[in-house]
């Protein structure tokens, strides 16, 4: 099975690395516009094969989309980060242009591929990809909730002083520090509600830390994080390629689910070989429904900046 990752930067290359280590796909193509960059990243990853023992073939390409032909999954991580003085509209305009042309190029060579959108602002870029390509909604999936949920589970496990793998929890809503919704009410420690072990004050702090999780790392690293983002994309790709049907919060087009339509935003999804298999209704309470509606308003507001790109 073949995966293409467009954008061989921090997140794209880490994702390729995790896919190779874990043998999730037989072939990974890393593509970037920077001359020689993807080839270099691919060669560096391949030089781990004999010491770590993987058989995945990772190749790099400088903007040659013929090498991506017949990919089962295409991950889009290409884009630029917001620079000082740049308005949100300017960033959306630049990244929208990149994501749109990348989607056109990959579909020309892999017309059946499932597309995973990572570039920010991710919910808006996912919406753009769907609208610009006309693909059915099950084939365009935005990755953000998997990462936000892994950060949520990390902060819960730290508060509980227990291993992360014993903690279950999800973050839904927009992939932004003001729009995401950590669902503390239904988070659990091996099946028991976390509220049995943690006070409301601690749970509120866990939720707040989760929401600024990306910004905290950007402050520490000087650029946005890549290990957990890359691993989260690989986790999603695994569920697609191997038809695992895991429940993963993803940004997908809603047609009335969670009271919303014509928007891509994070909701719990079953992810399998065809991409989005099903959206799961987790019965939000009134407070969570209210937060979700406000989150959708904020995402819709951002989507409005796409008008000139989609015109
Ligand atoms: N959804 C999420 O959870 C999440 C998490 C982390 C980062 N991100 C986003 O992912 C994107 C990538 O982040 P990063 O840290 O890897 O950035 P990065 O700058 O390290 O990598 C981006 C790469 O994209 C390449 N690129 C730019 N335009 C291109 C084009 N037209 N075709 C091919 N390649 C192109 C650049 O040359 C660069 O190598 C950013 O938009 C970032 O905000 C999203």
* Local mean pLDDT, 10-residue blocks, the chain (311 residues): 97 98 98 98 98 97 98 95 71 90 97 97 96 97 98 98 98 95 98 98 98 92 93 98 98 98 98 98 98 97 84 72
Distance 224 CA to ligand 1 centre (A): 10
Which atom belonging to ligand 1 lies closest to the Cα atom of 232?
Answer: 3
Instruction: Give the per-residue pLDDT at 100.
Output: 93
Instruction: Give the per-residue pLDDT at 310.
Output: 75
Q: Which residues are annotated as catalytic? A: 175
Q: CATH topology for 2-144?
A: Rossmann fold (3.40.50)
By the 8 A CB rule, do 126 and 117 touch? yes
Instruction: Give the per-residue pLDDT at 189.
Output: 98
Structure tokens at 65: 């989309």
From residue 299, alpha-carbon distances to 65, 100, 262, 304 in Å are 31, 19, 11, 9
- Cross-strand pairs, 171: 182
Helix (H) or strand (E) holding 15: helix 10-21
Instruction: Give the per-residue pLDDT at 237.
Output: 98
Gap between the Cα atoms of 282 and 264, Å rounded: 18
Write the DSSP string, 52-82.
Answer: HT---EEEEEES-GGGGTT-SEEEE----PP
Gap between the Cα atoms of 64 and 35, Å rounded: 11
For ligand 1, pick from 118, 140, 144, 237 the residue to mutate: most ligand atoms within 8 Å of CB.
Answer: 118
Query: Binding site for NAD(+): residue ranges?
Result: 7-12, 32, 95, 118-120
Instruction: Give the per-residue pLDDT at 200.
Output: 97
**DSSP structural state of residue 258:** G
Instruction: Give the per-residue pLDDT at 7.
Output: 97
- Architecture of the domain made up of 145-310: Alpha-Beta Complex (3.90)
- pLDDT tens digits along 12-51: 999 999 999 999 999 999 999 999 999 999 999 999 999 9
Sequence ranges of the domains in the chain: 2-144, 145-310
Q: Is the dihedral of CA 244, 250, 256, 262 positive or negative?
A: negative
Gap between the Cα atoms of 298 and 206, Å rounded: 23
Residue nearest to atom 6 of ligand 1 (CA): 229
Q: At what angle do helices 37-46 and 10-21 cross, to 10 degrees?
A: 30
Distance 171 CA to ligand 1 centre (A): 22
Gap between the Cα atoms of 164 and 156, Å rounded: 8
Distance 119 CA to ligand 1 centre (A): 6
Instruction: Give the per-residue pLDDT at 307.
Output: 77
- pLDDT tens digits along 300-309: 999 998 877 7
Ligand 1 neighbourhood includes 36 CB (under 6 angstroms)? no
Gap between the Cα atoms of 38 and 71, Å rounded: 17
Ligand 1 neighbourhood includes 146 CB (under 6 angstroms)? no
Instruction: Give the per-residue pLDDT at 196.
Output: 98
Instruction: Give the per-residue pLDDT at 90.
Output: 79
């Amino acid at each position: 099975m073949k995966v293409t990752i467009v954008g061989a930067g921090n997140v794209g290359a880490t994702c390729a690395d995790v896919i190779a280590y874990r043998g999730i796909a037989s072939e990974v193509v890393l593509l970037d516009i920077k001359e020689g960059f993807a080839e270099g990243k691919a060669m560096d990853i391949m030089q781990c094969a004999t010491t770590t023992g993987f058989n995945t073939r990772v190749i790099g390409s400088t903007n040659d989309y013929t090498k991506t032909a017949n990919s089962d999954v295409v991950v889009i991580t290409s884009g630029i980060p917001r620079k000082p003085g740049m308005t949100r509209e300017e960033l959306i305009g630049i990244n929208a242009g990149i994501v749109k042309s990348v989607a056109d190029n990959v579909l020309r060579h892999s017309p059946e591929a499932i597309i995973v959108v990572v570039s920010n602002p991710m919910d808006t870029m996912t919406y753009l990809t769907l609208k610009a390509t006309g693909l059915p909604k099950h084939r365009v999936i935005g990755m953000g909730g998997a990462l936000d949920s892994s950060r949520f589970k990390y902060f819960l496990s730290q508060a509980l002083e227990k291993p992360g793998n014993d903690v279950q929890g999800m973050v839904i809503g927009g992939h932004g520090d003001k729009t995401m919704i950590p669902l503390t009410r239904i988070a659990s420690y091996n099946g028991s509600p976390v509220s049995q072990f943690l006070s409301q004050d601690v749970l509120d702090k866990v939720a707040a830390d989760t929401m600024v999780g990306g910004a905290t790392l950007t402050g520490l690293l000087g650029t946005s994080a890549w290990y957990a983002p890359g691993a989260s994309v690989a986790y999603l790709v695994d569920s697609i390629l191997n038809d695992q049907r895991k429940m993963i919060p993803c940004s997908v087009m809603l047609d009335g689910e969670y009271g919303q339509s014509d928007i891509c935003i994070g909701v719990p999804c079953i992810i399998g070989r065809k991409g989005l298999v099903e959206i799961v209704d987790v019965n939000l309470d009134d407070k969570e429904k209210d937060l979700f509606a406000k989150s959708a308003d904020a995402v819709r507001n951002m989507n409005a900046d796409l008008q000139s790109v989609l015109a």
